[in-house]
Structures are given as structure tokens and as C-alpha cells.
Structure 1
Amino acid sequence: MVFFFSVTTPFGIAFGIALSSVYKENSPSSLITVGLLNVSSAGLLIYMALVDLLSADFMGPKLQGSIKLQIKAYIVVLLGAGGMSLMAKWA
């Protein structure tokens, strides 16, 4: 794992330099590739946020013991997601 971690960045840089001469920014294949990579990154981020981070908070004994606190937590999560969506419109 140490070897893989230490080789990943230099390999990615070399790969990017090699592809920079043949890469066409507006070609359909490059747009599809970039779109697929963005979608997979966003999916991983959503999974990490919902399953790994929020589930630990929402399944805790303090939140499970109070319906009022659960409702407030859900409202705050939805407001946060809405705020991030609104900011993404201008990003």
C-alpha cells in the first residue's frame, strides 16, 4: 500500500503530461469521460456524507431518544443540502 500510494501521484502527473498533446477539450469522448468521472466523484462524496458521517450522528442514543431533536436534525440537514445546492449554482 505504501508503494501504491507513493507511485499514484507521479504516475498521474506523467499520464496527464502524455495525454495533454492529444486531449481535445470539446470532443464528445472527452466530455463523456469528464462527466463520468465527475458523477463517480459526486456519488462517492454523497455516500461518504450520508452513510459514514451522518448515520453515526443520527443513530446515536441522544438523537434516538428525542423525536423533537430528530426533526430539528433532519431540518438542519435539508437546509444544509439546500444551501450547498444553491451555492453550486454559482460555482
Structure 2
Amino acid sequence: MFEKAKRFAKKIATSKKAQMTCLMMVCGVTAMMAQTTAGDYSAGTAALTQVSEEIAKYVPIVVKLCYAIAGVVAVVGAISVYIAMSASVMVA
């Protein structure tokens, strides 16, 4: 009896069709278990909602920071243009 089972297992192990069937069964069961254990998605939805609210709080601060940086760049650019123009007036 043991030899018969051993031959059967060896036959299955060498058959490509049987190997693929076993692989598909294992993958199918794993995927099905993963979907059923996920349950509801309320924890993930709540986390994403909280993150989006926290990010939305920082948007006005970042906008004001960008305005401040743009203002500094504009002032430095205006000063550099003024210096360049006054230097060219003095030379001429």
C-alpha cells in the first residue's frame, strides 16, 4: 500500500499538469483567504481621511512660505538689476 502511494506521489510530482494544478489551488486558496480576512476597510479609510486632513492644515502655511521666498527672490533680483543699471549709468 505504501509503495502504491509512493508511486502515485512520484507520478504527480513529475507531471507538469499536476504541478500546475497544485500551484493554482494553493494560490487560489491563499488569495481567497487574503480577501476574506481583510474584512471591512474602515481602518484604512479612517487613516487616509486623517492624513488628508492633516495635510490640508499645512497648505496655507506652505503657500505663505512660497510667497515669502518669491518676495525675497524678487527683492534680490530688483536690487541686482538696480546695481547693474546704476553701474552702467556711471560708466557712460
TM-score range, shorter chain: 0.3 to 0.5
Structure number with higher helix proportion: 2
TM-score (norm 2): 0.32
Q: Work out which of the two has the higher radius of gyration on C-alpha atoms and give 1 or 2.
A: 2
